[in-house]
Amino acid sequence: MLKTIYLCEEREPYENMYSAHNRALIELAGKNKRIVSCYADFPPGEVGEVFQKQFPDRIIDVGIAEGHLISSAAGLADAGFIPFTHCHTLFALGRGYNQIRHNVAYDNRNVKIVLCNSGVIWGGIGPSHLAIEDIAALRAIPNLVILSPSDAVSSEKATLAAADYVGPVILRLPSTGASYPTLYTQDLELEIGKAITLREGNDVAILATGTLVNDALTVSEDLERNGVHVRVLDIHTIKPLDEKAVLSAARGTGAIVTVEDASIIGGLGGAVAELISGKCPVPLRRVGVKDQFGESGTSEEIKNCYGLTWRFIRKAVQKVLKSKENPKGKETKVGRPQQSVGKK
Amino acid sequence: MDREELVAKLQAMAKKLRRESLFVMKEMGTGWLGGSFSSADFITALFFYRMKHDPQNPCWIERDRLVISKGHSCEVFYAALAEAGYIAKDELKTYSHCGSRLQTHVDCRTPGIDCSGGSLGLGLSFAVGSAMGAYILPEGKNLSSSSQRQKARFRVYCVLGDGECNEGQVWEAAANAFHYKLDNLTAIIDSNKFQSTGAVHAKMNMLSLAEKFKAFGWEVREIDGNNMNVVVETLDWVLTVEGKPQAIIAHTIKGKGFPSLENTNCHFVKITDDLLKKGLEALGG
């Protein structure tokens, strides 16, 4: 088993990814006068308040008007600025989809849309605020880059990469109030469109995105003890997908599990299925939200309820390994049982 | 140039653009005739009188912006772009054909167009963002200042349809423009009284748009939007308003300048050879 040079030994401490993003934003704003931070009555957090004090003219709150937030950010970009918009994922998507498509993506504006409180694990304040379909919906829009970091370090680096990139970027963040284990060392080099191989292995590959990358690592460590060598990839860029890394994982391991805190319909699981079905069909299991809405609950409750803990991921890995070992096994079950034919 | 001479010159230009736009429409075989003709006068006055812009440098960051939020009625605007030198006159013949920069709704791939239109209700928000950008001082406090602030670096004009004002986001933008005291923002509502499938008041009775914008804190003027003298005078007035965005409710005639179509719902009409001939006769060409 090999691991990347960036991986933290202990996966500690726990850190808030929104604070890390805001720290990066302050660093950026100090260097680049064109950085502007925009909100739709969304809390900037403690670190965000520091931004306000340092750059009073470069923080804009438009009130509860997410559609207007996105369109006006496109106008700010037209005036030469680099706006980062912040609001709940569901409202950027639900109230701002047409605006993202038309004002940002189609017109190719240099706008960075930060999706806060994405996924169902947040639990937070219930299903009205829990986005599951953002990856599927946004992935179908041309021109967008979609970033989905997995810890505080990659959140910070993804923010810096988003600012560096000229064009529209979606930055998908989990709960703004929770802390997550640190996976990476500070020397992480995050390159848009280039997946990070966290562990090498040739038996099976887990392709994960967001905070569940940590759980994927737990599974790989657990299975390693049983002699199963799991390759773990952090798909921090959902679009453009690192096709080379995904196909190499399919060819090198022959079995793939995708993991995400989002709907498996059109999410990372969908993206990987689309790619490998054409170019390297291998058994695939998708761990994620299965065509259902989110609900209130603690993150632990939700993960258990929605099949998103490391144990569920391990089960998916075991199942996909079985399919790999016995590729025809499933087909025999589908057909009419042989013994029932001609009994009479 | 005195006022009378200026107005006469702009009137001649508006007539020319109406005429040219008919040829643009003919390329597609169908045209946004009603809205192109209703808005031709203030588009002409904005483009050839009021706005600070440079056709040789369409991306000049300090230029005044013109956001055609309603997006359709683009033919007269394309004719204006060609007349000003943003695009070659020959390019007008590519209108609405595959691969052309001249799409059937204004598109920012065309030089001189600041924001793609057609998705109704979004343009005023874009214009608000742009107008905010003209006030932001990266070091210090200007946009967010409650006292005297430095002048905006440029102005933003946004053309909306009266039917378009059905869209809710128009009013999010209107509230936000007042909140940030964007006096460098002017909305011009082409109130030609018809939307896609019928009379504006019959589709959704919005009562008075002027009263609505006033209630949102804007400075409002209702004008005859097809009277060039009044249009020019109103575009002078907007520069004198401080601390508030301005709305011009331009009462216009749908199809203005095409006598047999005036005041009918000629929103998107088939351009036959006969219609073209009649139009050119009416417009003296």
In a domain, A332, yes or no: no
In the DSSP assignment, the letter for residue B64 is P
Are A156 and A248 in the same domain? no
Q: Examine the domain organization and report whether A74 and A170 are in the same domain.
A: yes
Which of A57, A67, A102 is facing B141, going by the closest CB pair?
Answer: A57
- Whether this model's pTM surpasses 0.90: yes
Whether residues B129 and A65 touch (CB distance < 8 A) is answered with no
Average pLDDT, chain A: 93
Would you say residue B227 has pLDDT above 90?
Answer: yes
**Angstrom distance (rounded) from CA A199 to CA A230:** 7
Mean pLDDT of A6-26: 92
Give the closest of B115, B136, B176 to A63, CB-based. B176
Looking from the CA of B15 toward its CB, the CA atoms found within 13 Å total 13
B264-282: average pLDDT: 93
> Which residues are CB-neighbours of A179 under 8 A, at least 6 positions away?
A14, A15, A16
Q: Is the same domain home to A133 and A255?
A: no
Gyration radius (Cα) of chain A, Å: 21
Give me the domain span that covers residue A89.
15-181
Q: What span, in angstroms and rounded, lies between the C-alpha atoms of B256 and B15?
A: 10
Q: Is the pLDDT of residue A176 over 80?
A: yes
Residues in A touching B177 (Cβ below 8 Å): none
Pick from A52, A62, A101 the residue to mutate for testing the B interface (most B CBs within 10 Å).
Answer: A62
Same domain, A123 and A260: no
CA–CA dist B34, B27 (Å, integer): 17
Let me know if residue A59 belongs to a domain. Answer: yes
Tell me: ipTM over 0.85: yes
pLDDT at res. B147: 78
Query: Which pLDDT score is estimated for B145?
Result: 85
Q: Are residues A166 and A203 in the same domain?
A: no
For residue B66, list its beta bridge partners: B157
- Nearest-angstrom CA–CA distance, B154 and B51: 10
Q: Flag whether A202 is in a domain.
A: yes
Mean per-residue pLDDT for B259-281? 93
- The CATH number of residue A218's host domain is 3.40.50.920
Asked whether residue A171 falls in the same domain as residue A80, the answer is: yes
A52 vs A150, more confident: A150
- A55/B132 CB distance under 8 A: no
CB contact under 8 A, B122 and A36: no
Number of domains present in the structure of chain A: 2
Q: Give the nearest partner residue to B133 out of A33, A75, A106, using CB atoms.
A: A75
Please tell me the predicted confidence (pLDDT) of residue A333: 46
CB contact under 8 A, B130 and A76: yes
Which tens digit of pLDDT belongs to each residue from A49-78?
Answer: 899 899 999 999 999 999 999 999 999 999
Are B57 and B85 spatial neighbours (Cβ–Cβ below 8 Å)? no
Q: Is residue A186 part of a domain?
A: no
- What is the pLDDT at residue A3? 61
Range of the domain at B182: 3-282
**A85-111 pLDDT tens trace:** 999 999 999 999 999 999 999 999 999
What is the distance in angstroms between the Cα of A35 and the nearest Cα belonging to chain B?
Answer: 9
pLDDT tens-digit series, residues A229-268: 999 999 999 999 999 999 999 999 999 999 999 999 999 9
Residues in A touching B133 (Cβ below 8 Å): 75-76, 78-81
- pLDDT tens-place string over residues B179-203: 999 999 999 999 999 998 899 999 9
Residue to substitute from A64, A72, A108, interface B, most B β-carbons within 10 A: A72
Q: What's the distance, CA A59 to chain centroid?
A: 26
Long-range contacts of B195-202 (CB under 8 A, 24+ apart): B195/B161, B195/B162, B195/B163, B195/B164, B195/B166, B195/B267, B196/B163, B196/B267, B196/B268, B197/B265, B198/B265, B199/B265, B200/B162, B200/B163
- Which among A106, A192, A178 is positioned nearest to A146, based on CA atoms? A192
Residue contact B173–A68, C-beta within 8 A: yes
Reduce the DSSP state of residue A199 to 3 states and report it: strand
Residue A124: what pLDDT?
84
Q: Tell me, yes or no, whether A5 lies in a domain.
A: no
Domains in chain B, number: 1
- pLDDT of A335 reads 44
Provide the token pair at A27. 């660093």
Residue A341 — pLDDT band, cuts 50, 70, 90?
A: very low
pLDDT score recorded for residue B146:
76
Indicate whether A342 belongs to any domain: no
Angle CA A241–A246–A250, to nearest 5: 155
> Of B116, B123, B131, which has the smallest distance from its Cβ to A106's Cβ?
B116
> What confidence tens digit (pLDDT) does each residue in A196-219 have?
999 999 999 999 999 999 999 999
Q: Determine whether the interchain pair B122/A80 forms a contact, defined as Cβ–Cβ distance below 8 Å.
A: no
In a domain, A9, yes or no: no
Q: How buried is residue A71: exposed, middle or buried, by Cβ count under 10 Å (0-12/13-18/19+)?
A: buried
Q: How confident is the model at residue A330 (pLDDT cuts 50, 70, 90)?
A: low
pLDDT tens digit string along B136-146? 998 888 998 87
- What the block records as the tokens of A284 is 């695939």
B141 touches chain A (CB under 8 A): yes
Average pLDDT of the segment spanning B170-174:
98
- The answer on A98 and A42 residing in a single domain is yes
Task: Specify the pLDDT at position B83.
Answer: 97
Inter-chain residue contact A79 with B140, CB threshold 8 Å: no
Strands B194-195 and B198-199: antiparallel
Nearest CA to B186 among B73, B81, B58, B50?
A: B50
The answer on A35 and A125 residing in a single domain is: yes
DSSP 8-state code for residue A7: B
CB atoms within 10 A of CB A159: 28
A52 and A171 in a common domain: yes
Most A CBs within 10 Å: which of B130, B135, B146, as the mutation test of the A interface?
Answer: B130
- The whole-number average pLDDT for the span A311-335 is 80
The reported pLDDT for the residue numbered A329 is: 58
Work out how many CB contacts closer than 8 A connect A with B: 111
| Beta-bridge partner residues of A196 | A234
Cβ within 8 Å, pair A78-B116: no
Q: What is the CATH number of the domain that holds A109?
A: 3.40.50.970
Least Cα distance to A123 among A298, A308, A300, A304 occurs for: A298
- pLDDT confidence of residue A340: 44
Mean pLDDT, chain B, as a whole number? 95
The answer, yes or no, to whether residue A135 has pLDDT greater than 60, is: yes
Q: Return the CATH number at B31.
A: 3.40.50.970
- Give percent of chain B with pLDDT exceeding 90: 92
Instruction: Report pLDDT for A2.
Output: 56
Nearest residue of B to residue A72, measured between CA atoms: B129
The contacts found for A89-92 with CB under 8 angstroms, 24 or more apart, are A89/A115, A89/A116, A89/A117, A89/A118, A89/A119, A89/A131, A89/A134, A89/A172, A90/A117, A90/A128, A90/A129, A90/A130, A90/A131, A90/A134, A91/A40, A91/A66, A92/A66, A92/A134
